[in-house]
Amino acid sequence: MLSNGRGAHGGSTAEWAVAVLLSIYRDLPAFRALQADGVWGFKDTETLIGKRVVVLGAGDLAVNLAARLAPFEVEVTLVGQRARDGVVALADVDALLPDADAVVAMLPATKETYRLLDAAFLSRLRDGTVVVNAGRGNAVDTDALIAELTSGRLRAALDVTDPEPLPPGHPLWSAPNLLLTPHVAGSTEGAWDRALRIAMDQIHVFAKGGRPPNAVVVPN
């Protein structure tokens, strides 16, 4: 029996995604730079309220993100491998992209998700769209994203990259319109305690002859 740790990092990762969306829309990096220069640079900013957010993924991370975006009156669409109640099939995602204000990738690393966000995918997004990756780095075609960031057409926040860790001198370090963190979205106080509790709960259920809630179906 194989069981995973679903639930250990979902809340923390979703919190990170909300934080970077707020940071980008409220232009916090620019205000921090003004502070460093001693400049009182008043300006209006965008808002997260009312934005249309497409979440690539429909598992624990995505569900947690949708819950945390709800107070901002955001229109959230979850995208999964197959269509079901509240989830759009990945095969139909192209129709969602032109109207999205933000696309948040919370995907596992599989052959289906490898470089899903490639040049063609990114080209379907309208100018100013925010691309967020809090899943696996190889879901994004790094070169294609750098091209869009450099042109100024798209904005992004990445907690995971391809390659990872980024080597010194990699173009992502200096890419414009990018907020970059070193795979810390799920790394918060208490995360490992939660993971341990979840693991112990799975073991207790299994020891009593039950099926752990996080049991994984392994293909033959």
Which CATH number is 163's domain given?
3.40.50.720
What is the Cα–Cα distance from 31 to 36, expressed in whole angstroms?
Answer: 9
- Verdict on whether the full-model pTM lies above 0.85: yes
Rounded to an integer, the average pLDDT of 126-149 is 99
Please say if 183 is a catalytic residue. Answer: yes
Q: Is the predicted pLDDT of residue 77 greater than 90, yes or no?
A: yes
Q: Out of 164, 170, 194, 197, pick the active-site residue.
A: 164
The verdict on whether 9 is a catalytic residue reads no
Count the residues in the chain. Answer: 220
Q: Which of 26, 115, 183, 197 is catalytic?
A: 183
- For 88, the 3-state DSSP assignment is strand
- Put residue 208 in one of left, alpha, beta given phi > 0 → left and psi -120 to 50 → alpha: alpha
Q: What amino acid occupies position 199? A: A
How far does the chain reach from its first CA to its final CA, in angstroms? 13
| Of the candidates 115, 164, 111, 157, the residue with the CA atom closest to the CA atom of residue 134 | 157
Which of 9, 136, 148, 155 is the catalytic position? Answer: 136
Q: Answer yes or no: 164 catalytic.
A: yes
Per-residue pLDDT tens digits for 26-67: 999 999 999 999 999 999 999 999 999 999 999 999 999 999
Number of domains in the chain: 1
Q: Which domain holds residue 196?
A: 2-217
